[in-house]
Amino acid sequence: MSDVHSDQLLAQVAALPALPGVYRYFDAEGAVLYVGKARNLKKRVASYFQKNHGGTRIGHMIGKIVRLETTVVRSEAEALLLENNLIKTLHPRYNILFRDDKSYPYLKITGPDRPVQDEAAAGPAATFARVAYYRGAVDRKHRYFGPYPSAWAVKESIQLLQKVFRLRTCEDTVFANRTRPCLLYQIKRCSGPCVGLISAQEYRQDVQDAQAFLRGETQAVLAALESRMTRHAEKLEFELAARLRDQIGALSKVLHQQSVESLSDKDVDILAVKVQGGKACVNLAMVRGGRHLGDRPHFPSHIEDAAALQDFDSRSDEDAQAAPSARVEAQVLEAFIAQHYIGVPVPPTLISSEPVGRALIDALSLQAGLKIRAVHHPREQRRRWLEMAETNAALQLARLLAEEGSQQARTRALVEALDLEPDELDAFRIECFDISHTAGEATQASCVVFHHHRMQNSEYRRYNIDGITPGDDYAAMRQVLLRRYSKLAEAGRDSPEATPPAGSGGAGRLPDLVMVDGGRGQVSMAREVFAELGLDLAVIVGVEKGEGRKVGLEELVFADGRDKVYLGKDSAALMLVAQIRDEAHRFAITGMRARRARVRVGGSRLEDIPGIGARKRARLLQRFGGVRGVAAAGVDDIASVEGISRELAEAIYRALH
């Protein structure tokens, strides 16, 4: 392979140290090809360049390498952690890559773990902790339990805490302004701390019991509740004893419904992997506090290329020459574990369907600061958990393969129906636009993206449309297309040879198809914009409603003068067009409704205005009857409210207009 690489690169390889570290390969465009780790950088990297790998996946990747970067670390564990941090950050083409999913949700109990020193100064909301759903970065101001696999799992746990411990879930502003108990108190889901129906000490004890329940200390909680009930009964405090009796009954019922069979496993993650048809699924099930909370599937990319390279890496290790290469399933699972637990708490026990390397477990233990155990052949309850996770992994992967097969067929049908010739069907890209407003109010345009046979939610965009006649959809379409493609056209004029062709993929490139929801009028507007920008008119297509606006009778209208195309009611191509068009409409209308709601309440919440605290906000709302009333008031009227200066009144007026 030395004849295709520069002397400078080969000299850099020859000068590498025989130390542990991480290496990165780059292609001619500066894109990262592969990130790897090694206990001996010199030996590992040199193995890539010492022989001809032919037309294999490894040879294909090595032929693209033009630059190399390395980082020396102190140990193999540090190399493993750095490698996976770089994989998540750089998204290399030839590594098994798990997409960064949205953050996992938590159950939050507000306030510190210790009692507030000055309850009068802190206020009742700080004294009576609130239980809430939370997603985001955790801090030390509150107590967090989780992470949970889904929002549903968090909300189910909150409902359990309401049934058993009757903790409040209302916002602090609502809590501070109540004069009588709400419906939750009436149905015995809250103890009514807002109106003093429970003392701060009793409520604090309920919060502590709830935390113990979430930690899995259920038997200890039951014993403590029974002991307290007996003491109250002996003191003839029968109302308090009856309340504890109800709590014990509710907790016993919950434990029976949850079918907790193992009290020894409080926090466990169960990981099952399934590989089939060039795709993989890792199903992660979570047990927290002894309760099985559900699971979540994860689908990596670059399976086959990455598996071949990792197999080559493992065979090139001096310690692993005699050992058989790891199965693809094991490679996928280890990649998931290494990437997933960056920034996510690791439970003390991992149960896996494939063996996990000792080096990875040691690195996780080093990162988490606690001893992590990996169990590959579990028994009894653990075995049942793993079998359930394996079944779900197989079902989720089968669903993915069925969906992708169907979507590929739809993509191919549309390409053939429109007589297109994309360089690569998998890279076929469609961008679809729609306009939404209510009688001209809060006009928004949406752009949704179909790429790699699926909707790419992360690439969706909304555009606020201003400066047009209200209700003028044509002007709105003109504005959004100009904003979307003017920079692309400008880049093409500045450097024509660097202009990517239509369909070469990526958000900064002209898509294979630009779809607008509308007939000849919208297409004519799109044609004017593209002609003005000097872009290809052949990519524009409009989705025109059929006779009577019936679903299945839509026709495609083209900007380059071609005749209309009717795809057929049962056509796979029409199904794809309808899917993309409906998604653009959904995305536009949800954005429009949110913007309209903001406009109708004055564009800003009072508490977001600097200088407005809880007291001033309450006075304003009391005087004017709500945010709309404040928005309708003049500066002089606002300034007449106690505590509102002239300057602050002007700031409020500006913020709400």
Please write the tens of the pLDDT for every residue from 107-155: 899 877 666 555 555 567 778 889 988 887 777 788 888 788 888 888 8
Q: Count Cα neighbours of 54 within 13 Å in the Cβ-side half-sphere.
A: 1
How confident is the model over 486-492, as a mean pLDDT?
78
Selecting from 3.40.50.2300, 3.30.420.340, 3.40.50.620, 1.10.1740.10, what CATH number does the domain 425-592 have? 3.30.420.340
Other CB atoms within 10 A of residue 607 CB = 11
Query: 331, 371, 372, 373: which is closest to 354 by C-alpha?
Result: 331
Start-end ranges of CATH 3.30.420.340 in the chain? 425-592
Phi/psi for 328 (5° steps) reads -60, -40
Of 504 and 5, the one with more pLDDT: 5
CATH code of the domain made up of 267-398: 3.30.420
How confident is the model over 492-515, as a mean pLDDT? 62
Specify the higher pLDDT residue, 404 or 83.
83
Determine the Cα–Cα distance for residues 645 and 569; give it in Å rounded to an integer. 65
CA distance 340 to 346: 9
User: Is 80 exceeded by the pLDDT of residue 29?
Assistant: yes
Mean pLDDT (whole number) for 36-59: 80
Residue with the bigger pLDDT between 204 and 260: it is 204
- Three-class HEC string of 596-630: HHHHHCCCCCHHHCCCCCHHHHHHHHHHHCCHHHH
Topology of the domain comprising 601-655? DNA polymerase; domain 1 (1.10.150)
Average confidence score pLDDT of the chain: 80
Least confident stretch, 46-50, 239-243, 284-288 = 239-243
Q: Which part of the chain is CATH 3.40.1440.10? A: 2-95
Query: Reading across the β-sheet that carries 21-26, which strands appear in turn?
Result: 32-38, 21-26, 67-72
DSSP assigned state of 102: P
Task: Give mean pLDDT, residues 431-456.
Answer: 85
Choose the weakest-confidence range: 152-166, 353-367, 429-443, 597-611: 597-611
Residues contacting residue 299 through CB under 8 Å, at least 6 positions apart: 99, 279, 280, 281, 282, 400
Nearest CA-CA partner of 358 in 607, 644, 76, 105: 76
CA distance 312 to 47: 9
Residue partners of 358: CB distance under 8 A and separation at least 6: none
Torsion of CA 26, 30, 32, 38, to 10 degrees: 40
Which CATH number applies to 2-95: 3.40.50.2000, 3.40.50.300, 3.30.1120.80, 3.40.1440.10?
3.40.1440.10
